[in-house]
Amino acid sequence: MEEIKSIQDYESRIKRVIVTEDQIKEEIKKAGKWIDGIYDGKPILLVSILKGAFVFMADLCRAVSVPCEIGFMCAKSYYQGTVSTGIVNITMDLEQDVSSYHIVIVEDIVDTGRTLNDVVKLLKARKPLSLHVVTLLDKPSRRVVEFKPDYSLFTIPDYFVIGYGLDCGEYYRNLPYIAEYNA
Ligand code: 5GP
């Protein structure tokens, strides 16, 4: 990504809104109900993959009614500009012993599928009581490894997107909507 030189430059890279704040709110309510329906009052552990999923996690955890704990992992997918290099590293692990938990992984976006494939493998090996994956966004046309989330709020075409937790060069995570990035 080229260096941002001014506020005009920063703003001009927000090409167009793809998902509005209201659409996100609506779909999060439905996702919360879906989680409640699956777990039927059983306590769960929501596991957010940092950093991209931190905003989604904050809203989704307030849309579920079952008792829930929160956990964080940091999985870093390495990008050259807006292109995935295919390298995924777990840089911060969960503090909970997952063997006594029903787990819901909360992810921002499934792109090539590599990150979630690795994270799911890692967590399943620790024998949780159950495991489901909820993703805010899904780009199925970009898959390199086979991976299907259990619940996806929005399916999008092959755009590089920013906002609502998703960054480009660490900027734009604080946008309240999801936008296409103007590379
Ligand atoms: P995957 O391992 O499925 O290729 O990618 C997962 C990670 O790549 C996501 O958690 C996210 O951090 C990053 N990523 C993939 N596509 C996009 C995108 O369109 N925008 C942004 N900002 N990050 C993306």
Cα 21 to ligand 1 centre (Å): 20
Using CB atoms within 10 Å of the CB of residue 140, give its burial: 0 to 12 exposed, 13 to 18 middle, 19+ buried: middle
Residues with CB under 6 A from ligand 1: 52, 77, 84, 88, 107-115, 160-162, 166-168
Q: Is the pLDDT of residue 79 over 90?
A: no
DSSP β-bridge partners for residue 73: 49
The per-residue pLDDT of the chain, averaged, comes to 93
Which of the listed residues 80, 85, 108 should we mutate to test ligand 1's pocket, taking the one with most ligand atoms within 8 A of CB?
108
The class of domain 41-178 in CATH terms is: alpha beta
Helix (H, G, I), strand (E, B), or coil: what is residue 57? helix
Sign of CA dihedral 48, 50, 151, 148: negative
**Tens-digit pLDDT profile for residues 94-149:** 999 999 999 999 999 999 998 999 899 889 999 999 999 999 999 999 999 999 99
Question: On the CB side of 106, how many CA atoms lie within 13 Å of its CA?
Answer: 31
Q: What is the pLDDT of residue 88?
A: 72
111 is catalytic: yes
Residue spans per domain, the chain: 41-178
Using CB atoms within 10 Å of the CB of residue 178, give its burial: 0 to 12 exposed, 13 to 18 middle, 19+ buried: buried
pLDDT: is 87 or 146 the higher one?
A: 146
108, 111, 138, 167: which is the annotated catalytic residue? 111
**Tens-digit pLDDT profile for residues 33-59:** 999 999 998 999 999 999 999 999 999
